[in-house]
Structure 1
Amino acid sequence: MVELDNLIQQLRTKDPYWNKCHPCKNKGKCCIGANPSFSDKEWQDVIEYLDEIPKDDYDKLLENFKHNKLCPFRTESKCLIHKVRPFNCKYTPFQAVYRNDGKIIYSMTTDDCNFKTVVSEPNMNFNSTENFIELNNFLEKRSYLLINNWVISNNLLEEPEKKATELLNSYFAK
């Protein structure tokens, strides 16, 4: 995760626009509707962290889980596991993904964190081995983190991931 944190910091230096995300002024708006998945290691970190959260937060997690909320860790104002969130939450909203069909998927974002998912063709100078890519973000260009290389270099494609609801089923069954 340290490498991902470093890449995000490099992105924020390369394109100061992304500094608006640190600290978040929109209560994690980019995470609304997310359905995070966890590796075994990430899930173990979450389980250990859940022992430390305040009772009110734990009760909110249980309530969200019972109501089948897509991400039970998300409240109206925060992420209950922000400190130990999985990598797929860490790279939101900075990521662009180069798909097998040769297209790039990413989210354009406004200053108040409204998002629009876009699928586009890469430009002629596109290099899939780079860490960053410039893409249209409404009326201007923005740099994004091209996440494919980081995922591949960390062997994350081979690591099975499970969705939060699946993992919480077994956690709360204890």
Structure 2
Amino acid sequence: MTEDISEIKYDIIKLTKDHDLSYFHCGLDDMDDFLKDDALKQQEDNLNTTYLLIYKNKIIGFFSLLADRISIKDIPEDYNCKYEYFPAIKIGRLAIDQNYQNNGLGTRILDNICSEIKDLSLKIGVKFITIDAYCKVKEFYYKNAFQHIKIERPDKLKRTAKRNNKTTITLYKDLKRI
């Protein structure tokens, strides 16, 4: 893509049945299939809400958000508290159209999502942002200050991820660190 990423001014619009999703391709069939086949149904069932990133009347990305929780025992850090679980908001899916990848747009959108969740945390109790990231893209989230939960058997996870490209790992970010 030749456009300067700083010049892209996208709108964020909630997914509706009126959107043409047929031309969106992020390079991961599972993500494309979710958007085209499952996102609206899950949204209607109140399982998550999907938002489209629109630029020049084209869908350049999407993300979905849903409620979550994270167990204190899964967090490597010592939070020194009496609670077993903390409230979280999960980024269920995040994808950028392949024509707009590898130029910083994903990081910019992730920063925007995290900022919106932080603002929301001033109205409702939310301590963490979570995401179940595909192992093959976890480095993107590490670069954006997400950490992984405790992994009991990292060697097993590594072997599984090599065999199955849909293997995910739960990552989290503390809202106080944004």
Do these two structures clear the TM 0.5 threshold for a shared fold by scoring above it? no
Q: Which has the higher helix share?
A: 1
Q: Which has the higher strand share?
A: 2
TM-score (norm 2): 0.25
